Every structure is written in C-alpha cells, then in structure tokens.
C-alpha cells in the first residue's frame, strides 16, 4: 500500500497541475466567444444532470481550429517560432559547447567556481535581465557607445527591435541550459581515450571530433531540447527585444488573450502549441532514458 501511495504522488501532481488545466483550456478552445465573464460559452451547469451535460457537449465545436487553419497569420507564426527557436538553439550550442569544454578541462578546484558563474544569472529576475539588454542594444545604449568610442562604427547600429536582438536575448537567457548538460557529459569523459587516440596517430583536433564530440552526444541532445522547447513558446524576449516584424506564437497568444479578448481562439492556439511541443518532449525523454541505460 505504501508503494502504491508513493507511486500515486507524482501522478496526482500531474493530474492536478497539468491534465486538469489542459482539459480546461481544451474545453475553452471548443467554445465560442461571448461578451460576458467568462468571455466564452457554453457554460457547464451540473444542476441539470446528464441532460445539462449532453446539451453542453452538443454546443462544443471545432470552429476555432478551422479558423486557425484558414488564417495564414497563425501557421506563419508557428513556422517563424520554430525557425527562431532552431537558429537560437544552434547559436546557443556554438557558444555553450566551448564554455562547457573549458569548464570540464579546468582544474578540479576551479570547477565549482565556474559552475557558480554559469548559474549566477538565475539569482537575478529574468525580466530585469531582459530589460538590461534593452539598455545595451538600443541606439544610445552601451554597445553602440562602446563601438563608436573605438571608431569601429560612425553611426549607431539598429539592433533593438530586430530578430538579431531576439537571438541575442534567447542565447543569453538559455545558455546555462545548454552548458550544464554538456558539461555533465564532458566531465565523465575518460582522458585515457584521448591519449590512446593520439598514440595511434590522431591529431588533437581529429581526436576531438572522433571521440570527444560523439561521447558528449547525449549532453548535446539534452541541451538542444532544453533550449528549443521553451524558446519555441517564448513571449517576454520577442515582446521586449523584438520589433513589430518579429512574429512568434507566444506574442500572438498574448494578443489573443489580452488584446482581442478572444479566449477560445487563444486556447486553440495554446492547444496546438502544446501538441507541437509533445514531439520534442518525447524525444528528450527517450534520450534521457537511453543515457541512463548506458550509464548502468
């Protein structure tokens, strides 16, 4: 009995904090807009019993999903979000892998300090960190003033309110999520394998590509998923750093909820976004399972 209670705890947690909210959002996505509170109908009235439930279910429809399919704004927003998230993930990998590699090859007494420096940004509010980039990337910001002082540029660069600023914000924000799993994989790497490859004639660079990179594959995959999944539905960074031309599904979702007050359409957008995210989440879980099996 104790074992079943222990197993039931995480399932109850998922039921209360994931499945029930998802069913509520799904129900709203099948509803219609109403000028009332809540701004959708039909409403479920259990006082009428099964007759009320049947009447409630009969009024639900898939018109909101059909509307999303007919309006190219939404599928363009999904594609644009996937593109921005994929490019940001690649950039984060290019920046994060050398940092993780340097941390794993550092002296053991320095590794805790380096880890603390990677985690240190999490001690500051996420919103404040994004706002700080607005001051850095603006036309009169720190970056432009620094480049002009060095004589590299003669006029301020337009970085803020562009996709470039969004990429910078995402890479900066999610860089620790890329570094930590890659560092965990590289730290366990057996140095004798590199030495054996060099003894057999491999150069240092060739040994890196043939041994180090393949053995850190699980960390690379985990880091890419940890960056791509939240970046796909990101809202704060494109809203603050991106311009009006930056199209991401998180911004569209916020506008439907709070500007247009169209809760049913916004819920349909959220349901489709969740269904899209299920694929990388499942792949991430399978990769983690294979990594655990390989360690056993």
pLDDT in tens, 61-85: 899 999 999 989 999 999 999 999 9
- Tell me the whole-structure pTM to 2 decimals: 0.87
What's the pLDDT band for 90 if we cut at 50, 70, 90? very high
Measured between alpha carbons, how far is 229 from 86 in angstroms, rounded to an integer?
10
pLDDT at res. 246: 87
**Is residue 138 domain-resident?**
yes
**Is residue 58 domain-resident?**
no
**Is residue 43 domain-resident?**
no
**Is residue 62 domain-resident?**
no
Which residues 6+ apart lie within 8 Å of 183 measured at CB?
Answer: 100, 103, 104, 115, 219
Q: What is the CA radius of gyration of the chain?
A: 24
**Is residue 248 domain-resident?**
yes
Domain count of the chain?
Answer: 1
Q: What is the span of the domain harbouring residue 194?
A: 68-295
**Is residue 57 domain-resident?**
no
Q: Among the residues of the chain, which ranges form H helices? A: 2-14, 20-29, 50-58, 63-70, 72-105, 111-119, 126-137, 142-150, 163-187, 191-199, 204-207, 213-215, 217-232, 236-241, 249-254, 263-295
Q: Residue 173: is its pLDDT beyond 70?
A: yes
**Is residue 120 domain-resident?**
yes
What's the pLDDT band for 103 if we cut at 50, 70, 90? very high
pLDDT at res. 183: 94
**Is residue 34 domain-resident?**
no
| Bridge partner list, 32 | 41
Q: SS3 sequence, 22-54?
A: HHHHHHHHCCEECCCCCCEECCCCHHHCHHHHH
Backbone angles phi, psi at 74, to 5 degrees: -75, -45
Domain with residue 195: its CATH number is 1.10.3720.10
| CB count in 10 Å sphere of residue 225 | 20
């Amino acid at each position: 009995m104790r074992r079943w209670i222990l197993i039931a705890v995480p399932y109850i947690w998922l039921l209360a904090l994931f499945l029930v909210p998802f069913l509520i959002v799904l129900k709203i996505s099948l509803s219609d807009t109403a000028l009332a509170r809540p701004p959708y109908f039909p409403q479920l009235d259990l006082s009428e019993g099964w007759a009320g439930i049947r009447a409630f279910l009969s009024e639900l429809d898939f018109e909101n999903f059909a509307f999303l399919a007919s309006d190219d704004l939404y599928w363009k927003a999904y594609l644009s979000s996937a593109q921005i998230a994929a490019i940001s993930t690649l950039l984060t990998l290019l920046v994060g892998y050398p940092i993780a590699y340097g941390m794993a090859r550092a002296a053991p007494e320095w590794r805790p300090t380096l880890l603390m420096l990677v985690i240190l940004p999490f001690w500051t509010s996420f919103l404040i960190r994004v706002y700080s980039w607005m001051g850095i990337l603006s036309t009169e910001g720190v970056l432009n003033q620094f480049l002009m002082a060095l004589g590299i540029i003669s006029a301020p660069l337009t970085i803020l309110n562009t996709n470039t600023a969004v990429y910078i914000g995402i890479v900066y924000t999610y860089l620790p999520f890329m570094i930590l799993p890659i560092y965990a994989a590289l730290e366990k790497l057996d140095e004798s394998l590199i030495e054996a490859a060099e003894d057999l004639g491999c150069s240092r660079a060739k040994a890196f590509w043939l041994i180090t990179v393949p053995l850190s594959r699980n960390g690379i995959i985990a880091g890419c998923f940890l960056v791509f999944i939240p970046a796909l539905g990101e809202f704060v960074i494109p809203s603050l750093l991106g311009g009006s031309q930056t199209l991401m599904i998180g911004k569209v979702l916020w506008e439907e909820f709070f500007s247009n007050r169209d809760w049913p359409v916004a819920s349909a957008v959220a349901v489709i976004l969740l269904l899209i995210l299920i694929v990388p989440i499942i792949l991430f879980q399978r990769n983690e399972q294979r990594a655990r099996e390989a360690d056993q």
